[in-house]
Structure 1
Amino acid sequence: MGESKRRQVALGDQYGQDKRVVAWLPLTQRQANDFYRWTTRGAWIGIGAMVVIWVTVRFIGPALGWWTVQP
């Protein structure tokens, strides 16, 4: 009997299913990795948006404000 067949017999119904992060939490390892990947991507998008807003407020806003001020 090969290793795969032995593992299938040993695991029974659990064979081929994703492993859970914690036994009492219905969250698989794949779902945890997907969540980590999405939150990391979202954080970088947020950082990029914050930089764009900061540049706009700090440099572009004052540069455009000189012609709108009435004497």
Structure 2
Amino acid sequence: MGEAKRRKSKLGEKYGQDERILPWVPITKSQSELFVSLTTRGAWIGIGGMVVLWVTIRFIGPAFGWWNVV
């Protein structure tokens, strides 16, 4: 408990707030972690979409007569 009180008195008004990545960048560490998780999920969704598109064009398309150049 003594350590928490010392830290609270040292930080003052900033106690309990998220820490910024850099003092001059208005982005907190939790916001940066959220950004990384969202962009990673988006990248995997994009990869999955490209695989579905490739399978459709490569295998399903010629079966129906689309793009008979194989």
TM-score normalized by the length of structure 1 = 0.88
Structure with greater Cα Rg: 1
Distance across 2 between alignment mates of 1:64 and 1:5: 73
Same amino acid, percent of matched pairs? 63
Q: Superposition RMSD on alpha carbons, in Å?
A: 1.6
Is there any run of 5+ residues in structure 2 with no aligned partner, and where? none
Is there any run of 5+ residues in structure 1 with no aligned partner, and where? none
Distance across 1 between alignment mates of 2:4 and 2:48: 47
Name the count of aligned residue pairs: 67
Residue of structure 2 equivalent to 1:60: 60
Q: Which amino acid in 2 is paired with 1:23?
A: P
Q: What is the Cα deviation at residue 61 of structure 1?
A: 0.2
Q: Which amino acid in 2 is paired with 1:61?
A: G
TM-score normalized by the length of structure 2 = 0.89
